[in-house]
Amino acid sequence: MGINHLRGILLHGPPGTGKTLLARKIAEMLNAREPKLVNGPEIFDMYLGQSESNIRKLFADAEKEWAAVGNNSRLHVIIFDEFDSIVPNRRHLRSTGRTDSRVVNQLLSKLDGLEQLNNILVIGMTNQLELIDPAILRPGRMEIQMEIHLPDEEGRHQILKIHTQKMRNSNRLAEDVDLAEIAKQCANYSGAEIEGLVRAAQSHAVKRFLGDGKQKKVTEETDTDSLKIISEDFQAALKKDITPHFGNANAMLTHILHRPIIHWCAEISQVLSKGDEAIKQTLAKNGPGFVKILLIGAKQTGKTFLAAEIAKESKMNFVKLVTAASLGRNKISELEQAFDDAAASALSCLFIDNLERIADYSEARETFDNQIVLKLSELIERRPKEGKRLLVIATCSSQEFIKNARLKRVFSSVVQVPSIKEQQHITSVVKSLNLFDTEEMQLFHKHLNQLPTNLELSIQQLLEIVDSVRMEDEEESLLVAGGELGPVKHNKRVEKFFKGLKQLFKKLLLTHTICMPDRIALICAYTTFV
């Protein structure tokens, strides 16, 4: 029929998903000659022109056989690992002054140049498809692009069976090991990570057999029949050794959620309810599968805390926390990587904390990095691929920034996180934490009634005062006979609390950005304690 066969396949996806193994199997299925496996960076040489020569050498055998026997030639397969390092986007190369574009041009000429070969198949593999020169992806070159996903539950079960086959055959796998259950537990694990999990479980079994911290000599006479991998070994490997690259930020969320949530007003429950609704919309089969929620409020009002609670309750396979500190210098690249990582998982939650800090927002000058804002807007609006579900939770402390950056439109819903504005709010916090006993609460209400009715405090500021009272409890409690702690005077603890409020009011008075009505209210509150 005179059809020229396919010359290029690009396999892309997360690391450890078996792209190299698939490339080898493709070559084997096609009854090709032994494939040439090339690590991308090895192509490059310090001498001018040598890198292009290395590309030509890879095609030399195919060219020689094609010249000799033509269509009777066997298929030659060249497999490039880290393909993005060989064919980076030439537009970016020109802006950086690099000369790698000659390698890209050389490879393009070999794939569909004047002297085309019909006995060659190039298979490229990459974790970063977006870095590859678009010219290499057009028809006639690497025209087939296949995404290799992370394995689903059934796939993880099959991989576990493969890597435990020898253990089962030699009766080294205990009956209590449920591979199907382990497959459920290792969501978002790649094939390579599952292999590592099995090795780690084997190590725990050997360590248990030899005895922790003991020297047990193993000889040919040693009875090793009792050496088996049990369920506890796999659980230890899951908890201590192998965590997925596209995993859950539970440790980070737990660090943020270091104390219980205080429902000091109805709005707090409403914020969490909105978060729960966003989770359900993301997970619902008939739902949008893509929900973006913004928590906005004054500084230190607990936005990060509430967002972390929503992210934790989502129970997504992949949860990633993005902060200004975690992004480093190249924020745009790191943001793209965070969203790409989320795209690799079927169920993902991205928690973007402090949008204004990420965008380098200056409150005094009302300026921000426009390039970062544009990239944030683009990424947050980008829908995940079909079958993927994504929940984006963001926080921000500046209404002005959201307005000036025009970011409000990119979110499905915007939820206001309240400040402490009423005396009753302070009472709710104190009661929730059981800070004072009955006698102390009477004195507390007496002092509380002297406060102005229009307050403007943050929950974090109030909790810092609570912590200072409790710290003084530990320092001033005295040991009495029998080893019991002697009580601290009631009035002293209450006075400590309101002294902290007085110092807070004084601090706020020195803030230049506070509006005049609030300033007058604070002056009244402050003079009450002086």
3-class secondary structure, 253: helix
**pLDDT tens-digit profile of 368-414?**
999 999 999 999 999 988 888 999 999 999 999 999 999 999 999 99
Q: How many domains is the chain partitioned into structurally?
A: 4
Q: Which amino acid is at 206?
A: V
**pLDDT tens-digit profile of 186-207?**
888 999 999 999 999 999 988 8
Angle of helix 191-210 versus helix 153-163 axis, rounded to 10 = 50
412 domain-assigned: yes
3-class secondary structure, 155: helix
Shared-domain flag, residues 102 and 227? no
User: What does the block give as tokens for 429?
Assistant: 């916090």
Distance CA 181, CA 157 (A): 9
Domain carrying residue 303: 250-416
**Of 102 and 39, which is predicted with more confidence?**
39
Q: Where are the beta strands (DSSP E) in 372-514?
A: 389-396, 413-416
Shared-domain flag, residues 261 and 200? no
Q: Quick one: pLDDT at residue 89?
A: 80
User: What does the block give as tokens for 496?
Assistant: 């400590």
Distance CA 489, CA 417 (A): 36
130 domain-assigned: yes
The chain-wide mean pLDDT, for the chain, equals 85
Surface-to-core class of residue 417, CB atoms within 10 Å of its CB (0-12 exposed, 13-18 middle, 19+ buried): buried
**pLDDT tens-digit profile of 134-180?**
888 888 888 899 988 889 889 999 999 999 999 888 888 988 899 99
DSSP3 helix / strand / coil % (the chain, rounded to 5): 50, 15, 35
* Closest listed residue to residue 8, CA positions, set 127, 126, 143: 143
392 domain-assigned: yes
CA angle 328, 249, 279 (to 5 degrees): 115
1 domain-assigned: no
Domain end marker among 392, 416, 440:
416
489 domain-assigned: yes
| pLDDT of residue 302 exceeding 80 | yes
2 domain-assigned: no
Is residue 306 a contact partner of residue 271, using CB atoms and an 8 Å limit?
yes
| pLDDT of residue 117 exceeding 90 | no
User: What does the block give as tokens for 413?
Assistant: 């819903």
Antiparallel, parallel or unpaired: β 8-12 and 36-39: unpaired
**pLDDT tens-digit profile of 423-444?**
899 999 999 999 888 888 988 9
Shared-domain flag, residues 227 and 335? no
Give Cβ neighbours of residue 141 (< 8 Å, ≥ 6 apart). Answer: 7, 8, 108, 111, 112, 135
Mean pLDDT to the nearest integer, 307-320 = 91
Mean pLDDT to the nearest integer, 331-353 = 90
Shared-domain flag, residues 60 and 99? yes
Domain end marker among 147, 178, 198:
147
Which of 103-117, 202-216, 328-342 holds the top average pLDDT?
A: 328-342
Domain end marker among 416, 444, 479:
416
User: What does the block give as tokens for 76?
Assistant: 């030659």
Shared-domain flag, residues 285 and 180? no
CA angle 65, 66, 72 (to 5 degrees): 90
**pLDDT tens-digit profile of 248-293?**
677 788 889 988 999 999 999 999 999 999 999 999 988 889 999 9
- CB-side neighbour CA atoms (13 Å) of 9: 19
For the beta carbon of residue 181, count every other beta carbon within 10 angstroms: 11
Shared-domain flag, residues 208 and 112? no
3 domain-assigned: no
Shared-domain flag, residues 66 and 158? no
**b/e per residue 270-308 (b: at least 16 CB within 10 A):** ebbebbeebbebbbeeeeebbbbbbbbbbebbbbbbbbb
- CB-side neighbour CA atoms (13 Å) of 101: 13
**Of 138 and 308, which is predicted with more confidence?**
308
Per-residue pLDDT band at 216 (split at 50, 70, 90): low
What's the Cα-to-Cα distance from 500 to each of 368, 487, 503, rounded to whole Å?
35, 21, 5
For the beta carbon of residue 103, count every other beta carbon within 10 angstroms: 21
Is residue 419 a contact partner of residue 458, using CB atoms and an 8 Å limit?
yes
Query: Which helix (H) or strand (E) element contains residue 36?
Result: strand 36-39
Shared-domain flag, residues 127 and 183? no
Shared-domain flag, residues 355 and 439? no
Share of the chain above pLDDT 70, in %: 86
Shared-domain flag, residues 20 and 140? yes
Shared-domain flag, residues 139 and 114? yes
User: What does the block give as tokens for 36?
Assistant: 């040439």
Query: Which helix (H) or strand (E) element contains residue 361?
Result: none
Per-residue pLDDT band at 52 (split at 50, 70, 90): confident
| pLDDT of residue 482 exceeding 50 | no
Q: What is the DSSP letter of 11?
A: E
Per-residue pLDDT band at 480 (split at 50, 70, 90): very low
* Closest listed residue to residue 356, CA positions, set 418, 413, 290, 304: 304
- The CATH number of whichever domain residue 87 belongs to comes to 3.40.50.300
> Position of tokens 């397969």?
77
* Closest listed residue to residue 107, CA positions, set 3, 7, 4: 7
323 domain-assigned: yes
Shared-domain flag, residues 268 and 411? yes
Q: Which amino acid is at 71?
A: N
User: What does the block give as tokens for 319?
Assistant: 């949860």
- The CATH number of whichever domain residue 158 belongs to comes to 1.10.8.60
